[in-house]
C-alpha cells in the first residue's frame, strides 16, 4: 500500500488530515478545535509522505517526527500519526487498539473538562452551583475538572488575588505569574470546599490551576487542599502553551504534599517526559495524543510512567469526535496507571451528523465502550461532511 496524497481541511475550526492511499482506504486525524492556523503546517509534510507505506507507521514517523515541537507545533505530526494508524487498522481489518498490543479494558473512564456551563462568578457559591450542574449531566461523570486560580478569570476577578498585574492578552500560558496573596490562596481553598460539599466522595474533583504559581504558594496550596482528597492539581508551575517543562521545580512541589500534582498536556515526545518521569517530578502526567506525537507515543510514555509509579490522565478537551476515537483506542491499551482521559465533544454540534461509529449515548456512567470497528473506530461521512467544507477545501474527499 502506498500513500498517494495528504490533504488537510478546516472542518468547523478543526484541522482534519486525510491520508489517501492507492488501495482506496483513507485515514483521518483531527487537531484541537481552536487550531485552524495549523493547516499549512500539516500540508508541509505532504511531500515527505507520498510514496510511503502507511501501514509501516513507525517508519513513516521517523521521517517527520523531529519536525514537531511543544503545543501547538506537535499537533500536525500527531494527527498524521493518528491518521496512519487509522489506515493501518482499516487495512488489517482490526480496531487500532489491536495493533497497539490489544485492549486491557472493555470500557474507558473519561473525566469532564469539556461539557461546561457559562461561569456566573468566581465566588464559592458560583463554583458549587457549577459542579452541581456538571454532576447532574446524563453522562454520569465520575471525575470533574474545574479551572481555578491562574487558569481562570479568578486571577482578574478576585481583587488582590496575587501580587502582579494580569495581562490583557487573549492568550494564556506563562504570561500571568506571581506571588499569590494570603487572601488569594484562601479564596481557592474556600471554592474547593464549596465544590466538595456538593460532590462529596462520589465524584472526584481535579483542578486546572495554572501555570502561574510560585513554588512556596504551590506547596502551601497543595498542603491546604489535602483534606479534600482531590484527584490532582494540574499545571501549577508550567503547562498549556508553555514550551518548557521545569521538572525540577515541579519536583519541589510534589515532594511536599499528598495532593497529587499533574502536568504534561503541552509536552511533545517521550524525550521531553524523560526527566519528569525519571525524577518522579509529578504524580500524574496528562499528555494529549494530538499534541504529544500521536497514540503510540502516548502509549510508550504511559508504560514508562507506570514503571516509575506515575499515573496518567490524557488531555483532550478540544480534540473533537475523531480525536475522541483516538483517545478511546489508546486508552483501552494503557496499563493500570490509567485514570481517565478528558472527554471531548463535537464542536459545532453538527459534527455528530458527519461522523459514524460512535455509540449512542457516547458516555454511560462516566465510561465509554471501546470501539471495535476497523481503524480508529469512527469515520467521516463524506456525503454529509461535504456541505461544511469551504470552497478552498472542496476537493477534500475527492
Q: By C-alpha distance, which of 270, 279, 325 is closest to 303?
A: 270
Please identify, using beta-carbon distances, which residue of 45 and 273 lies nearer to Mg ion: 273
Q: By C-alpha distance, which of 95, 75, 34 is closest to 297?
A: 75
Q: Is 30 helix (H, G, I), strand (E, B) or coil?
A: strand
Q: Which stretch binds Mg ion (CB under 5 A): 204-212, 290-298, 336-344, 369-377?
A: 204-212
Q: Sign of the C-alpha dihedral, residues 349, 169, 176, 289?
A: positive
**CA angle at 296 for the pair 310 and 271, rounded to the nearest 5°:** 60
Q: Which stretch binds Mg ion (CB under 5 A): 191-199, 207-215, 251-259, 364-372?
A: 207-215
Please identify, using beta-carbon distances, which residue of 21 and 152 lies nearer to Mg ion: 152
Helix ranges restricted to H, 225-319: 247-254, 274-278, 289-292, 295-307
Residue with cell 508550567: 238
Q: Does 291 bind Mg ion (CB under 5 A)?
A: no
The residue with its CB nearest to Mg ion is: 208
Task: List residues bridging with 325 in a β-sheet.
Answer: none
Number of residues that bind Mg ion (CB under 5 A): 1
Q: Which stretch binds Mg ion (CB under 5 A): 205-213, 216-224, 251-259, 365-373?
A: 205-213
Q: Which stretch binds Mg ion (CB under 5 A): 201-209, 219-227, 333-341, 388-396?
A: 201-209
Phi-psi region of 165 (alpha: psi -120 to 50; beta: other; left: phi over 0): beta
Please identify, using beta-carbon distances, which residue of 208 and 291 lies nearer to Mg ion: 208
Q: By C-alpha distance, which of 234, 222, 220 is closest to 267?
A: 234
Please identify, using beta-carbon distances, which residue of 32 and 208 lies nearer to Mg ion: 208
The set of cell numbers assigned to 337 is 496507571
Hey, which residues between 33 and 62 contact Mg ion (CB under 5 A)? none
Q: How far is the CB of 265 from Mg ion (least distance, A)?
A: 5
Q: How far is the CB of 341 from Mg ion (least distance, A)?
A: 13
Please say whether the beta carbons of 256 and 222 come within 8 A: yes
- Which string of x and - marks every residue 151-190 that binds Mg ion (by CB under 5 A)? ----------------------------------------
Q: Which stretch binds Mg ion (CB under 5 A): 19-27, 133-141, 202-210, 219-227?
A: 202-210
Please identify, using beta-carbon distances, which residue of 26 and 254 lies nearer to Mg ion: 254
Task: List residues bridging with 26 in a β-sheet.
Answer: 20
- Which string of x and - marks every residue 348-367 that binds Mg ion (by CB under 5 A)? --------------------
Q: How far is the CB of 287 from Mg ion (least distance, A)?
A: 11
DSSP, residue by residue, 111-174: EBSSS------SSHHHHHHHHHHHHTSTT--SEEEEE-GGGSTHHHHSTTSBSS-----S--SS
Q: How far is the CB of 144 from Mg ion (least distance, A)?
A: 14
Q: How far is the CB of 150 from Mg ion (least distance, A)?
A: 11
| Residues 80, 326: Cα–Cα separation, whole Å | 12
Q: How far is the CB of 266 from Mg ion (least distance, A)?
A: 9
What kind and span of H or E run contains 198? helix 182-199
Q: How far is the CB of 37 from Mg ion (least distance, A)?
A: 20
Pairing mode of beta strands 284-285, 261-263: parallel
The set of cell numbers assigned to 327 is 483517545
Q: Does 288 bind Mg ion (CB under 5 A)?
A: no
Q: Does 208 bind Mg ion (CB under 5 A)?
A: yes
Please say whether the beta carbons of 315 and 343 come within 8 A: no
Please say whether the beta carbons of 314 and 305 come within 8 A: no
Q: By C-alpha distance, which of 188, 298, 277 is closest to 236?
A: 188
Please identify, using beta-carbon distances, which residue of 97 and 155 lies nearer to Mg ion: 155
Please identify, using beta-carbon distances, which residue of 86 and 208 lies nearer to Mg ion: 208
Q: How far is the CB of 262 from Mg ion (least distance, A)?
A: 9
Q: Which stretch binds Mg ion (CB under 5 A): 203-211, 342-350, 365-373, 381-389?
A: 203-211
Please identify, using beta-carbon distances, which residue of 130 and 208 lies nearer to Mg ion: 208
Sites of contact with Mg ion (CB under 5 A): 208
Amino acid at each position: 500500500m502506498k500513500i498517494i496524497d495528504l490533504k488537510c481541511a478546516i472542518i468547523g475550526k478543526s484541522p482534519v488530515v486525510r491520508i489517501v492511499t492507492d488501495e482506496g482506504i483513507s485515514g483521518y486525524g483531527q487537531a484541537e478545535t481552536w487550531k485552524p492556523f495549523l493547516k499549512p503546517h500539516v500540508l508541509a509534510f505532504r511531500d515527505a509522505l507520498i510514496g510511503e507505506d502507511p501501514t509501516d507507521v513507525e517508519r513513516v514517523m521517523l521521517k517527520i517526527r523531529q519536525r514537531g515541537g511543544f503545543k501547538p507545533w506537535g499537533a500536525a505530526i500527531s494527527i498524521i500519526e493518528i491518521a496512519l494508524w487509522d489506515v493501518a487498522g482499516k487495512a488489517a481489518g482490526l480496531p487500532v487498539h489491536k495493533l497497539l498490543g490489544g485492549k486491557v479494558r472493555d470500557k474507558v473512564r473519561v473525566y469532564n473538562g469539556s461539557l461546561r456551563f457559562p461561569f456566573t462568578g468566581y465566588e464559592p457559591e458560583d463554583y458549587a452551583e457549577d459542579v452541581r450542574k456538571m454532576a447532574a449531566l446524563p453522562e454520569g461523570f465520575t471525575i470533574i475538572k474545574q479551572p481555578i486560580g491562574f487558569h481562570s478569570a479568578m486571577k482578574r476577578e478576585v481583587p488582590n488575588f496575587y501580587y502582579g498585574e494580569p495581562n490583557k492578552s487573549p492568550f494564556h500560558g506563562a504570561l500571568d505569574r506571581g506571588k499569590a496573596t494570603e487572601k488569594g490562596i484562601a479564596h481557592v481553598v474556600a471554592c474547593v470546599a464549596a465544590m466538595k460539599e456538593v460532590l462529596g466522595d462520589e465524584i472526584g474533583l481535579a483542578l486546572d490551576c495554572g501555570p502561574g504559581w510560585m513554588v512556596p504558594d504551590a506547596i502551601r496550596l497543595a498542603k491546604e487542599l489535602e483534606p479534600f482528597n482531590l484527584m490532582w492539581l494540574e499545571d501549577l508551575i508550567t503547562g498549556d502553551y508553555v514550551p518548557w517543562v521545569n521538572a525540577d521545580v515541579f519536583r519541589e512541589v510534589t515532594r511536599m504534599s499528598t495532593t497529587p500534582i499533574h502536568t504534561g498536556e503541552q509536552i511533545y515526545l517521550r524525550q521531553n517526559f524523560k526527566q519528569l518521569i525519571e525524577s518522579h517530578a509529578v504524580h500524574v502526567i496528562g499528555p494529549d495524543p494530538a499534541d504529544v506525537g500521536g497514540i503510540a507515543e502516548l502509549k510508550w510514555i504511559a508504560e514508562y510512567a507506570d514503571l516509575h509509579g506515575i499515573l496518567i490522565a490524557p488531555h483532550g478537551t478540544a480534540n473533537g469526535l475523531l480525536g475522541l476515537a483516538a483517545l478511546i483506542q489508546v486508552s483501552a491499551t494503557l496499563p493500570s496507571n490509567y485514570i481517565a482521559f478528558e472527554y471531548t465533544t463535537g464542536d459545532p454540534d453538527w459534527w455528530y451528523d458527519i461522523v459514524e461509529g460512535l455509540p449512542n449515548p457516547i458516555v454511560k456512567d462516566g465510561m465509554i465502550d471501546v470501539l471495535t470497528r476497523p481503524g480508529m473506530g469512527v469515520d467521516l461521512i463524506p456525503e454529509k461532511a461535504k456541505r461544511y467544507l469551504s470552497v478552498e477545501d472542496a476537493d477534500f474527499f475527492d
